[in-house]
Amino acid sequence: MIDLVNAAMTSAADALANLRKNDAALAAVAAAGELLVKTFQNGGRVYSCGNGGSMCDAMHFAEELSGKFRRERAALPAMAISDPAHLTCAANDFGFDSVFSRFVEAHGRRGDVLLAISTSGNSPNILAAATTARAAGMKVIALTGKPGSKLEPHADINICTPGGTQYSDRIQELHIKVIHTLIELCESRLFPAGV
């Protein structure tokens, strides 16, 4: 059993080490952090979406911004598209591919940002949300795990964190590291004194 534990930890550490050596990915994270900071400074809102574990990541991203990450500071306007009533209504009336795009259509405005999370980068409902966001004049940050995804051309910034395996769990582990980094960038720039 300990061999399996060590193998899992080694695989995770290798994936993170590979990400740290990926200059393009690190630059994309920095650019995304800058975009989020400017969005909040200009009075914009940030929305996030994903399926399954990526929805959990989208919710975690939003609650750390509207709640608290590390610093005592003002709340930031961020929301995950995760309300069960909206999701089931939109799925029932328009199909599952529209659950996120309907929300973006209703609430997204020019100057807002959508964080679209998809390990494959090919989820139809995430693609629809990104397309709707761009049409509304929003910026889109894609958080993906496979280069050359369908989502990439619909994003202003694409952060691709390939995990080095065929399994999505390594990608998701890197995604949460990126998400925490983005939140830290926002806090440090917007609230340098922790106020």
Res. 195: pLDDT tops 60: no
Residue 173 near residue 159 (C-beta atoms within 8 A): no
DSSP conformation letters of 135-158: HTT-EEEEEESSTT-SSGGG-SEE
Does this model's pTM top 0.75? My answer is: yes
The structural domains of the chain, with segments of one domain joined by +, span 2-190
Helix (H, G, I), strand (E, B) or coil at 91: helix
Coil, strand or helix at 113 = strand
pLDDT, tens digit (0-9, with 9 covering 90-100), for 137-192: 999 999 999 899 999 999 999 999 987 666 788 999 999 999 999 999 999 999 98
Residue 166: both structure tokens together: 């065929």
CATH number for region 2-190 = 3.40.50.10490
